[in-house]
Amino acid sequence: MIVADRKSLEEILGMVADREKLLILGCKGCVTVCNVGGLKEAEILASTVRIARKKEGRPVEVTHRALERQCDNEYVAQLADDVANYDAVVSMACGVGPQFLSEMYPDQVFFPAVNTTFFGGAVQHGVWEERCAGCGVCGIHLFGGLCPIARCAKSLLHGPCGGSSNGICEVNKETACIWDAIVKKKMETGHLEDLLAVRPFKDWRTARDGGPRRSIREELVKGTL
């Protein structure tokens, strides 16, 4: 899923400081799963904003709701009858949400309430880790199921660098050297020789280096599926 962290209250309150009527809009997709921007979090943020503004002596009207997803126009369209009723909308979705909203409703202002961080998963309750970099050409199977693009600080493809020490990456003591893990796994499974293969240069044009990407599924566009 896409993982995000909520912005500080200070930052959110600063964004909406001069607004009198707000909609806090959650998303029932990834941000609900990572407990940052679902209906529940939208309700809590709405109450918190009202408390903060009451304390300042400048009450604000805040409504909250959540869309099924903010990354699909069919759901974003559900806001059509209501969106003009607010001074601003605070989106709790990943970075995709405020953009889809802004594109459909150019006259409204949409503030992001979260910082979108990475594609990952929960390794324990409350802890998420990056697992995918969305590079566009998946080669996880070549590395024992562990992705060196997303999980090696240098995205190396031919083994660890000199900064790997006792299985830890030099960039951060909390970060495992994924190449250490890849080599160990290959040794354990008796496939170490797989790593001798010389890999061609990775074509980074399919990653962000090629500019904003687009995925077209002809059969869906034509409606033939």
Q: Tell me how far, at minimum, the Cβ of 164 lies from another protein, in Å.
A: 37
191 binds another protein (CB under 8 A): no
Among 21, 54, 158, 205, binds another protein (CB under 8 A): 54
Tell me whether residue 9 or residue 171 sits nearer to another protein (CB atom): 9
Q: Verify binding: residue 43, another protein, rule CB under 8 A.
A: yes
Looking at the DSSP bridge assignments, the partners of residue 26 are: 66
CA distance 221 to 53: 47
- How far apart are the C-alpha atoms of 145 and 182, rounded to whole Å? 8
**Which of 15, 33, 52, 140 is the binder for another protein (CB under 8 A)?**
52
Residue 50 C-beta-side C-alpha neighbours within 13 Å: 14
Q: Is 9 in the site for another protein (CB under 8 A)?
A: yes
Residues 6 or more apart whose Cβ sits within 8 Å of residue 22: 16, 46, 49, 60, 61, 62, 63, 86, 87, 88, 89, 90
Using rule CB under 8 A, residue 17 touches another protein: no
The answer to the question of residue 48 lying near another protein (CB under 8 A) is yes
DSSP helix/strand/coil, 182: helix
Residues interacting with another protein, by CB under 8 A?
Answer: 8-10, 40, 43-44, 47-48, 50-52, 54-55
